[in-house]
Amino acid sequence: MLVVDSNLWIYYADATLPEHATVKGFLDPILEGDEPVAVNTVIQMEVAHYLIKRLGSAAGQVKARTFLGLDVEVDPLDPPRTVEAVSHLARYSDVGIGGRDATILATLRALRTTRLATHDQSFGRVDWVQVEDPLSGSPC
């Protein structure tokens, strides 16, 4: 299973960004393949926020609904997951992990995977996370 961070979804959804083509080339085969892809509800909201802010209310909402309709597993931010995220925040804040990032670490643990596609270099400082960054050309 591969968890995909919001920054890659944003690059994927916004064709005006210079990163779009590279990320699209990375994600399209994954989305068409057999490997499960996952996000959490925080990632969903962050992507929707960006799209509505960038494209406006109407167009952004259409694009956000398309994203929300992708065939991916969604890990909820429920109270137990939030408690776990706080523990990750306390443990990894010194390497650049913030609150949103900590929810992703909790999602990785809950889904029993270490694989994260992201362009956020902070995750490369967490020893048990296997970062896949299509924009760096090699794992972090």
- Please say whether the beta carbons of 139 and 118 come within 8 A: no
Q: Is 137 within the bounds of a domain?
A: no
> Model-level pTM?
0.94
The pLDDT of 72-81, averaged and rounded, is 96
> Which of 62, 63, 52 shows the shortest CA–CA distance to 12?
63
Tens of pLDDT along 27-64?
Answer: 999 999 999 999 999 999 999 999 999 999 999 999 99
Residue 138 within any structural domain of the chain: no
Amino acid 137: pLDDT: 61
Strands 73-75 and 130-132: unpaired
Average pLDDT, the chain: 95
Q: What does the DSSP 8-state code read for residue 93?
A: G
Range of the domain at 65: 2-132
Number of domains forming the structure of the chain: 1
| CATH, residue 116 | 3.40.50.1010
Is residue 38, in this structure, part of any structural domain at all?
Answer: yes
1-18 per-position pLDDT tens digit: 999 999 999 999 999 999
